[in-house]
Structure formats: structure tokens, C-alpha cells
């Protein structure tokens, strides 16, 4: 029996306002649905609240990190791996770091705007390589939505015809910085593919947004909306339809279920008053982030769903992955005594290296892409630290001051970002004893890298060292040993956690079907990183956006058909 609405029932309740929640709110309100959105943090719009163009010296802290802004006080994103009052635990022998963005727009305020499509092989890894997993959908299923996301949000790049790095509907990319040309030239010598990067920063004005003015500070949020963030690009237009009700400081606790097993709405805590509140909705969309959505489902226990909602397969929390990462930087003598010029560009690299090798000749499956950084960034807190690593070896006085001038901006660094294969030892579950300050049971993480990832990261290290050597440079740090994991990041450190609410073709071994609809609950959907079956050697946001739009269109069709 369906629970009938009495007061202010919404068509859809969306939990979370980042890429997945913002996209769902945009698409569903455009389709005419009456939507309520719950966000655990306060309202925040880069167009109003950004610290863009604040010189480091205008702050007493010169841009140093804060507890709530681990990437520097000017960084847009209020959040971190440690949030007061909202703990999580790691099982003995495991260590996992869980980043949460607690603000309108979530992590879209934080990310590097690297906007890469997953390729055909990324959706069919098992078929293509004989290991890992296949998604229940193909690149062709998602491609029309990638196109729509490109057009709505805007992304610059270049069409290169690389098979597993699909082209897009790109705006013109900015020219590389001079040191990036050196990286390209060196990559050519070493046979490494190096192409213009693909970032969701607009170089031509679209939809009332200004084009980039090249201040290089995308991470602070853009006052003219030249880069993508969910609040300015998706939520603001959704609010303009008059169909969206936004409730901030709302910490979702549980999806409520009727006697018929269908979702009836979401219970949440008003963080300002501590009051327990509830919104009723005909459809519930979770977009709270992969692990937070899993946590909400596991906490949504009822007599009908004693293991938590959508968890009859026992798969909620399973299939947790993060991107592998390691960094190497070096001093490049050719860059000594720079020619003063404005090198800011966009807030990110202008070139990058997509995966270029054949794994059949390597001791690890799957690849990585390489991100490039260096040069003359805005001098702020920590500038010119570690001068003893340069040829002068340290010192003091006039010779040191001359060295600082000589060596400023002479670093080039490479960051590898690679695909991890899901494994049975990496997952999250409810901690049996701990609750957060709102009384909500917290997550406990289990985490393990396998030799797949260690060998891949070792390859990154060797490649980056080769690149720096080929530029005539000197690497700052010795090659990390096997015991040091070859310098691999900790689980969760790259902030690309995916899975935990995975889609699949069978209700026995997945939580969602190929439309991101819960097998166990037809009016429950997930539009964040949770549905991902696998990682790829690409950042996940563009795929989160495309899948969220695709899922929203499915919800609209189902509502029209009267199915949900």
C-alpha cells in the first residue's frame, strides 16, 4: 500500500548538492519536478564568497592551511579529512582517509576541474583486459550525456582521436605555459603522449557566465563563474525555475520507507537547532558522496530492510576504490633566472599526459594519467621552502637572497593518477560502536592496495624521474623503496573514492540497476560516485555529471509513465 502524501510532499528529495546532486536538481527541475535538496553544510557561492585575487599578504595568515581548509585558507572548499564531530574509523591494519566537503556544492568547490570522459574500455575492463569488472552500460550509453554536460557546463580541450580518451565538444584550450612546452618537447622525445588538458573552465562566455580571465586561482572559486562549481552553474538555474527548495545545514540520517517498501522521504538533523526533521518525497535521490550515501543506506534499517535499505545483496559499502597517486618534483636548471612575465593562466595545467602504454607488456593492469605543475605561482605561505635542495645547498645572507631570486619558479612536478582495481579487502561498513555528534552511526573503513597498484605507482615514479632527467633536471627526493610503497598515496588521499553503491546487471551482486535505481526500492536512486563499478585513469566528476543527468532523465520518464 502506498503511503499517501498529506502536507508539502515533494516529487523528489535530493541528498547532497555537489556534482551529482546539482546535476539532478538542474535536470529534474527543468523537467518540471518539485524538488527539495538537503545539504549538510551552509550555502556558499563562489560568485559571492570567493577569495579570488586576494593577495597572500592581504591575509594575516598569508594563505596558510586551516583545519577546515586543508588546501589553504583561500581554497573554496570548506571540508577535509577530519571534520570536528563527524569521525570515522579504520579497521585494525587499515588506514583510509575520508574527505567530506561540507558546503553547498560540496567538492565541486575543491576539485581541479579536470574533466575527462571515461573511454570505451573503462566501461568494459573485464571484456577488454580479462581482469577487473564490466559495467552494465557502455560508453555509447553515456556519450550523449557527456555531450550535453560539455555544452551546458563548458570544457576546453582538443580533439586528438585517441581511442580510449574520447574527444568532446571542447572550447579552445589556452596556450601552454613556457615550461609546459618544455614538458611537451621532452614527452615527445620519450614517446609519452602529451596533449592540451581538458578542464571545465570556459574560455568563451556561455549561458551568462564570463570567460576565464587567467588569474590561475580556480581553487578559490571564481567570482565570474568561469569555472564549474555546482552552486553557480547548476543550483542557481535550478532555483530560478522556482521548483527547487534548498535546505542547508541539513545532515541526512536515514531514508524512510513505507510498508510497501518504497522510500517515503528523508530524515535529517537541522544542524543549527539539533532538531530531527523529515521531508516527504515520492522519489529519493542520494548524492551525498559514495561513502556518505552508503552510510545513509546502511543506517536506513527497518523491519523490511534489517540490513539497511537497498542492501539485500549485502553489497552496500563494497567495491570501494580510490585513485592511485604519487608525485615527483625536480629542479630544472634551464628555468634559472626566469624572464619576468605573467604565467598564471587558468587554475590548473594546460597540458597533460593521458595513458599511452600497452599493459600487456607491463607488470600491472590499467594505466594512469600524468598531471603537470610548477613554475611561478603566486608566492604565499611556504614559498621557497627547502632552498637547501637547490645547487646552492642552503646558506644565508646575500648569496642566499640571490639564490632565492635565481631559483624561484624553477621546479617542475608530475603527479600520477591511476586506476585501482576493486578488491575484496577495500570497503566500508557501519562501525559497531561509534556514533557522530548527531548520534548517527559512523563508517569503518577497510583498505588494501594490491601489487597491481604498487607496481603501477613504481612505474609512475620511474617515468617522472626519466622526464625530469631528460629535461636536464635534478629530482628532489630519492626513489621510494618497496617498503615505502613506492610513494603510493594513502587510500582516500586523492579524494576520488568511488563505489559502495554500485550498479550491476544482477540484484544478487549489486545495489543499483543500470539506471542507478535500487534493485530493492524502485523510487530510490543514487547519482554520486557510488554507482561506479570501477575507476578509470580519469577523474570521475565528468562521469558523475553525465550519469546523474542520465539517471534524472530516467526518473522523469518513469514519473511520466506513472511507474514511480
459-478 positions binding other proteins, by CB under 8 A: none
What is the CA angle 261-522-282, rounded to 5? 80
One residue of 79, 132, 168, 176 binding other proteins per CB under 8 A: 176
Q: Please state, in angstroms and rounded to a whole number, the distance separating the CA atoms of residues 83 and 45.
A: 21
Contact between 193 and other proteins per CB under 8 A = yes
Residues in 406-425 at the binding interface with other proteins, rule: CB under 8 A:
408
C-alpha cell at 366: 590499467
One residue of 1, 275, 339, 561 binding other proteins per CB under 8 A: 339
One residue of 195, 279, 283, 546 binding other proteins per CB under 8 A: 195
Q: Please state, in angstroms and rounded to a whole number, the distance separating the CA atoms of residues 293 and 259.
A: 22
CA distances from 312 to 150, 306, 334, 499, 506 (A): 37, 9, 61, 17, 12
68 vs 89, which CB is nearer to other proteins? 68
401 vs 560, which CB is nearer to other proteins? 401
CB of 211 to other proteins, least distance (A): 4
Q: How many residues bind other proteins (CB under 8 A)?
A: 82
What would the 3-class secondary structure string for 13-49 be?
A: EEECCCHHHHHHHHHHHHCCCCEEEECCCCCCCHHHH
One residue of 2, 8, 32, 55 binding other proteins per CB under 8 A: 55
4 vs 67, which CB is nearer to other proteins? 67
Per-residue contact flags (x/-) with other proteins for residues 210 to 239, judged by CB under 8 A: xxxxxxxx-----xx---------------
CB of 380 to other proteins, least distance (A): 5
Contact between 362 and other proteins per CB under 8 A = no
Contact between 341 and other proteins per CB under 8 A = yes
Contact between 61 and other proteins per CB under 8 A = yes
Listed residue (42, 111, 127) closest to 76, CA to CA = 111
One residue of 54, 247, 475, 507 binding other proteins per CB under 8 A: 54
DSSP state of 417: E
C-alpha cell at 560: 511520466
CB of 119 to other proteins, least distance (A): 17
Contact between 384 and other proteins per CB under 8 A = yes
Task: Decide the pairing of beta strands 427-435 and 79-80.
Answer: unpaired
CB of 179 to other proteins, least distance (A): 7
Q: Please state, in angstroms and rounded to a whole number, the distance separating the CA atoms of residues 534 and 422.
A: 7
Q: Please state, in angstroms and rounded to a whole number, the distance separating the CA atoms of residues 221 and 227.
A: 8
For residue 433, report the phi and psi dihedrals to the nearest 5 degrees. -125, -20
Residues in 264-323 at the binding interface with other proteins, rule: CB under 8 A:
none
Q: Are 330 and 467 spatial neighbours (Cβ–Cβ below 8 Å)?
A: no
Contact between 189 and other proteins per CB under 8 A = no
Residues in 126-165 at the binding interface with other proteins, rule: CB under 8 A:
158, 160-161
C-alpha cell at 226: 568561469
CB of 78 to other proteins, least distance (A): 15
Q: Please state, in angstroms and rounded to a whole number, the distance separating the CA atoms of residues 244 and 6.
A: 19
CB of 44 to other proteins, least distance (A): 17
Amino acid at each position: 500500500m502506498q503511503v499517501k502524501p498529506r502536507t508539502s510532499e515533494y516529487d523528489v528529495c535530493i541528498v547532497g548538492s555537489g556534482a551529482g546532486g546539482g546535476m539532478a536538481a538542474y535536470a529534474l527541475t527543468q523537467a518540471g519536478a518539485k524538488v527539495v535538496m538537503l545539504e549538510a553544510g551552509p550555502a556558499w557561492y563562489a560568485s559571492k564568497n570567493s577569495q579570488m585575487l586576494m593577495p597572500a599578504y592581504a591575509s594575516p595568515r598569508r594563505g596558510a592551511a586551516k583545519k577546515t581548509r586543508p588546501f589553504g585558507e583561500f581554497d573554496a572548499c570548506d571540508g577535509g579529512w577530519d571534520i570536528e564531530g563527524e569521525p570515522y574509523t579504520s579497521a585494525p591494519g587499515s588506514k583510509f582517509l575520508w574527505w567530506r566537503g561540507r558546503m553547498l556544492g560540496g567538492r565541486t568547490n575543491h576539485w581541479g576541474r579536470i574533466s575527462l570522459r571515461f573511454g570505451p574500455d573503462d566501461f568494459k575492463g573485464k571484456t577488454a583486459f580479462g581482469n577487473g569488472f564490466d559495467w552494465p552500460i557502455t560508453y555509447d550509453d553515456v556519450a550523449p550525456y557527456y555531450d550535453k554536460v560539455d555544452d551546458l557546463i563548458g570544457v576546453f580541450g582538443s580533439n586528438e582521436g585517441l581511442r580510449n580518451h574520447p574527444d568532446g565538444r571542447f572550447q579552445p584550450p589556452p596556450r601552454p605555459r613556457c615550461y609546459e612546452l618544455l614538458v611537451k618537447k621532452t614527452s615527445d622525445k620519450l614517446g609519452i603522449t602529451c596533449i592540451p588538458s581538458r578542464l571545465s573552465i570556459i574560455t568563451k562566455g556561455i549561458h551568462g557566465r564570463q570567460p576565464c580571465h587567467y588569474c590561475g586561482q580556480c581553487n578559490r572559486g571564481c567570482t565570474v563563474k568561469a569555472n564549474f562549481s555546482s552552486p553557480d552553474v547548476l543550483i542557481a538555474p535550478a532555483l530560478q525555475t522556482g521548483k527547487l527548495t534548498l535546505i542547508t545545514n541539513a545532515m541526512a540520517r536515514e531514508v524512510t520507507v513505507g510498508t510497501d517498501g518504497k522510500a517515503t522521504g528523508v530524515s535529517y538533523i537541522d544542524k543549527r537547532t539539533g532538531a530531527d526533521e523529515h521531508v516527504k518525497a515520492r522519489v529519493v535521490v542520494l548524492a551525498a558522496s559514495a561513502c556518505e550515501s552508503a552510510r545513509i543506506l546502511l543506517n536506513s534499517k527497518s523491519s523490511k530492510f534489517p540490513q539497511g535499505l537497498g542492501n539485500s545483496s549485502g553489497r552496500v559499502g563494497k567495491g570501494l576504490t580510490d585513485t592511485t597517486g604519487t608525485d615527483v618534483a625536480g629542479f630544472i636548471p634551464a628555468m634559472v633566472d626566469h624572464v619576468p612575465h605573467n604565467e598564471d593562466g587558468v587554475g590548473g595545467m594546460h597540458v597533460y599526459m593521458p595513458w599511452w602504454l600497452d599493459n600487456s607488456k607491463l607488470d600491472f593492469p590499467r594505466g594512469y594519467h600524468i598531471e603537470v605543475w610548477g613554475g611561478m605561482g603566486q608566492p604565499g605561505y611556504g614559498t621557497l621552502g627547502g632552498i637547501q635542495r637547490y645547487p646552492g645547498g642552503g646558506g644565508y645572507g646575500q648569496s642566499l637572497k640571490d639564490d632565492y631570486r635565481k631559483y624561484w619558479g624553477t621546479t617542475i612536478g608530475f603527479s600520477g593518477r591511476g586506476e585501482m582495481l576493486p578488491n575484496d579487502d577495500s570497503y566500508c561498513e557501519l562501525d559497531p560502536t561509534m556514533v557522530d555528534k548527531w548520534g548517527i552511526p559512523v563508517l569503518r573503513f577497510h583498505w588494501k592496495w594490491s601489487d597491481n597498484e604498487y607496481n603501477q605507482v613504481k612505474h609512475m615514479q620511474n617515468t617522472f624521474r626519466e622526464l625530469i632527467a631528460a629535461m636536464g633536471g635534478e629530482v628532489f627526493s630519492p626513489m621510494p623503496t618497496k617498503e615505502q610503497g613506492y610513494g603510493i598515496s594513502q587510500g582516500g588521499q586523492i579524494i576520488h573514492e568511488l563505489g559502495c553503491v554500485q550498479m550491476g546487471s544482477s540484484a544478487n551482486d549489486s545495489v543499483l540497476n543500470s539506471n542507478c535505481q535500487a534493485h530493492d526500492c524502485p523510487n530510490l536512486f543514487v547519482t554520486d560516485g557510488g554507482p561506479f563499478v570501477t575507476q578509470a585513469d580519469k577523474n570521475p566528476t565528468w562521469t558523475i555529471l553525465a550519469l546523474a543527468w542520465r539517471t534524472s532523465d530516467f526518473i522523469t520518464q518513469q514519473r511520466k509513465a506513472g511507474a514511480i
